[in-house]
Each structure stands twice: as structure tokens, then as C-alpha cells.
Amino acid sequence: MKHEFGPDFVWGTATAAYQIEGAVDRDGRGPSIWDTFSHQKGKIKTGEHADVACEFYDRYESDLQLHKELGFDAFRFSIAWSRILPDGIGRINEPGLQFYDRLIDHCLSLGITPWITLYHWDLPQALENKGGWTNRLIVNWFSEFVNVCTKAFGHKVKHWIILNEPLASSILGYFTGQHAPGRRSFSNLLPVIHHTALVQAEGGRVVRQNIPDAQVGTTFSCSPIDPFTLRDQAAAIRVDALLNRLFIEPTLGMGYPTRELPFLAGIAKKVAKPGDMERLAFDFDFIGLQHYFRAVVEQSYLMPYLWAKDVSPLRRNVQTITEMGWEVYPESMYRIIKQFAQYEGVKKIYITESGAAFYDTIDQGKVNDLARIDYHQNYLRNVLRAKQEGMPVEGYFAWTFLDNFEWAEGYRPRFGLVYVDFRTQQRIVKASGRWFQQMLSKEVLPDVL
Ligand code: GCO
């Protein structure tokens, strides 16, 4: 399979600081909103937190060694803002910088290209205390953080991702409250969306200014949206605007999709400052698509502003559903790449995340996760189809390397190619990890097989 993607295709795995690092109070790290949130009662389904997680902070050397053995040549990780700036701004914590410096050097020594995500949801608590993403000053705070990181690592890291899934952090964090900081109100929504979109572009500008030869990108969660019945077409168009278009179109200079979602017009009227609409644009070198499932929606009067809701896979008699309750529907990968490739300003696409949580069991020391192999194989076939049709998709990062802390779900859903026993920290490469290893080790496959 590998050779069909061509020699320059990037093969990686993706991770996030809070989900794997642990060591939350080590070497001067300040608290983040996820520390606070996960320790509040009832916020995480299993009552767990990520104080320890995969102990990646201490185990990164052997973990990266394993990553190398599996054949991946790129590793996507995020920087915990509060390790570098414990108060979010101001004082720099040298040991925090040193940790990422060692991690980067170790990647490089193994021939693994580091891909850094600057924001994967763990806002310093000190900044949340000042209003977090509802406060317009976040644009300055974030620029300061990006400035510190790019000055420290820009000479050796050339692949930078500004935000991880801005839709999730803004809506789940400040509107529905399912994620940190767990705030819930409609009045937060428009400021948070707008500040996030501004940060996305400003962050890009800081990276480009400090590292002229960097590849700068940002990621979006995305799903093709299908109407449940013919009557639901308008609903599907609205959901598409919210899920797939809200954060990319402002970067392309198209503004927010206000025609489909009139409530967004409130941004220009009440939230934005003069000149903002121009500041939202930034010409990213690449965009990262994070794709897992398609959505099927129907109209609903119960959901204000959107007037639509999801039709669950259970109601649709879907055959394969993951532990997250997500439908496995490989063709959606092809469709979503096609949808994003149609934007004129999109130059390059990387699949910065795709993967599946299934219930894993250990049998005689082995995890035979055939369903996960099927998932990656079939989703990859659809990436290939898009590529062969000429779409500029140039890499695939499996979510994820190690089983880890799955946010509000706790440790139960396991997405890893490597199983982690959270009591002993033992790692067991799953059959899916071996599948990648085999696939990636074969430069050329005989054409007829
Ligand atoms: C996300 C993330 C990951 C998740 C993964 C599975 O955006 O949700 O980037 O942190 O763990 O998507 O849900």
C-alpha cells in the first residue's frame, strides 16, 4: 500500500500533551484548564484525570524508539502552554522549554520529523481566570506563547500547527460545557468563536515571521454531512456550515458563513473591531483534516440557532460503530478531502488525525484489534483515491500512537496502535501497530498480489 502513496507522503501518528504526558506538577508546570476541569466532580465520565496518563514525560525516549520501530517518520505532539509559561504570559519556565527541546532532539536523532501543535486545548488556568477565550486579550497572550516557542525551536522544527480543532474547543468548552473550562452560555459563543478565529490567523503570522522557512498549518475537525431524509437538506447545509466551514472560510478571506447561520452576523455587529475581518485571513501552507465519521442530520426545533440535530448511528442501523458511538464509513474520508480540496486557497492537505476506539482485549499477551486494522486500511484507501484523482493530500497521521486520556470520556475508549496498561505502564504493540509496521517497511509491493 505504501508505495502507492508515493515517496514523499508523510506517515505519522498524532498525540496531544494533556492526553499523554502526565507529570502535571513537575518542573514548574502551571495548571491548565484541563487539570482543573478533570478534577471537578462529574466532569469526566469515569471520574478520571490525566495527572499520570501515559507518563510520556518520563518515557518519551523509549516510546519514540517504539514509534520508530513501527516505521512512522513523523510525530505530531502538542506543547503544553503552561509548561512554558506557567502563568500563561510573562515568566518563562526554562525546565518546560528544556523538556520539549529534549523531545525534539530525540525525534531528530531517530530520523522522526516533529510536527508541533501549539494549542491542543490546555489553556493555562491563569488565563482562564482572566476570562480565557472570551477575553480578546487572548490574541496577545497566544502570540506571546507562539513567539516564545518559535524562537526556542524554530531552528529545528519546521512543521507547525496553530490550533487543534477550534470548533471543539470553543463550542464544547464555552457553550455546551462538556469540555474544559466547562462554561455554558450563549453569550460566550460569538466572542469565543471570533477570538479563536483571530488567534488562528495571528498565530500563523507569528510563526511565519519567526521561521520564514516553516510549513504553517492548522487543523479542523470535519465530517461530510448527509440529510436523513429529503426534508432535511436545509438542516444538513446549516450543520455543514457550522462543522466544516466556520473556521476555514475566514482564513481564506471568505468571512463567516452567515448566510446559512444568521446568528453569526452578531460577530460583525457586536464583537469584532474595525479591521478584524481582514485580520482573520491567513494563507496557510497546509490544512490538517481530522476526520473520523460522517454525520447524518435531521431538522429539529429543539436545537436553537441550528435547527438541526444528529441522527444517531443506532437509529440508522449502522453496522460498525466505534466505542465513541461513531459510524465507521470509509468513503466519508474521500468525500471530506474532496470538499476541502475544492477551496481555491487550500494548497496542501494532511490528514492530521483519523482513527478508531474499539474495545481491546489482551489474549496471551496480544491485542488482536482487527477492526482497527480494517478502519485504517479502508480510510487510507479513500485517502489514496483522493490523491489519485489529483487532490493535494500529502500525509496521514493515525490517531493515535498510545492509548490515552480521551478527554471527558476518560481512559475507556482506546484509540492507540499501542496498548497501554495504565496500572503498570506496560506497552503492547497491537496488531494494528504491526500492520502499520509491515505496510511501512515495504517500499515496493509486487503489483499483483
Ligand atoms: C480531538 C483530538 C483528539 C481526540 C481524538 C479522538 O480533536 O478530539 O484532537 O485529542 O482524542 O479526536 O476523539
**Across residues 98-109, what is the average pLDDT?**
98
pLDDT band at 442 (very low <50, low <70, confident <90, very high): confident
Place of cell 447545509: 237
Q: How many domains does the chain have?
A: 1
Residue 394 inside a domain? The answer is: yes
In a domain, residue 407? The reply is yes
Look up the ipTM and state it. Answer: 0.92
Shortest-distance Cα residue to atom 1 of ligand 1: 165
pLDDT, tens digit (0-9, with 9 covering 90-100), for 37-93 = 999 999 999 999 999 999 999 999 999 999 999 999 999 999 999 999 999 999 999
Ligand 1 pocket, residue 122 CB under 6 Å: no
| Distance from chain centroid for Cα 111 | 23
- Counting residues of the chain whose pLDDT is more than 70, the rounded percentage is 98
Across 410-423, average pLDDT: 98
Tell whether 133 is in a known binding site: no
**pLDDT one-digit tens code per residue, 361-376:** 999 999 999 999 999 9
User: What are the grid coordinates assigned to 205, written together?
Assistant: 503570522
Query: Do residues 49 and 106 make contact, with C-beta atoms less than 8 angstroms apart?
Result: no
| Band of residue 449 on the pLDDT scale cut at 50, 70, 90 | very low
- Assess whether the C-beta atom of 16 lies below 6 angstroms from ligand 1: yes
Q: Which domain holds residue 320?
A: 2-441
Ligand 1: centre distance to CA 176 (Å): 17
- Rounded Cα distance between 219 and 197, Å, is 12
Q: Is the CB of 404 under 6 A from ligand 1?
A: no
Question: Residue 10: which CATH number?
Answer: 3.20.20.80
* pTM metric for this prediction: 0.97
Residue 230, burial from CB neighbour count under 10 angstroms (0-12, 13-18, 19+) = exposed
Q: Which three cell numbers stand for residue 248?
A: 476555514
Q: Is the pLDDT of residue 160 over 90?
A: yes
User: Which whole-number Å values give the CA distances from 412 to 9, 16, 33, 86, 403, in the listed order?
Assistant: 32, 17, 21, 30, 9
Taking the centre of ligand 1 as the mean of its atom positions, its distance from the CA of residue 439, in whole angstroms, is: 25
CB hemisphere CA count around 193 (13 angstroms):
28
Atom number, ligand 1, closest to the C-alpha of residue 221:
7
Tell me if 447 is assigned to some domain. Answer: no
Average pLDDT of the residues of the chain: 97
Q: Is residue 94 a known part of a binding site?
A: no
Catalytic residue positions, numbered? 165, 353
Residues 301-325: what's their mean pLDDT?
A: 95
Give the pLDDT band (50/70/90) at residue 448. very low
In a domain, 448, yes or no: no
430 domain-assigned:
yes
- 310 domain-assigned: yes
Distance in Å, CA 448 to ligand 1 centroid:
37
Give the residue, by CA position, lying nearest to ligand 1 atom 6. 406
In a domain, 16, yes or no: yes
CA torsion angle for 194, 195, 198, 200 (degrees, to 10)? -110
What does the pLDDT read at residue 447? 47
DSSP helix/strand/coil, 310: strand
Q: How far, in Å, is the centroid of ligand 1 from the Cα of 180?
A: 14
d(CA 87, CA 124): 7
What proportion of the chain, given as a percentage, has pLDDT over 90? 98
Asked if residue 2 has pLDDT above 50, the reply is yes
Residue 421 lies in a domain: yes
Give the pLDDT band (50/70/90) at residue 443.
low
End-to-end CA distance of the chain: 11
Residue 120, annotated ligand binder?
A: yes
292 is known to lie in a ligand binding site: yes
Sequence-distant (≥ 6) Cβ neighbours of residue 247 within 8 angstroms: 166, 167, 196, 197, 200, 220
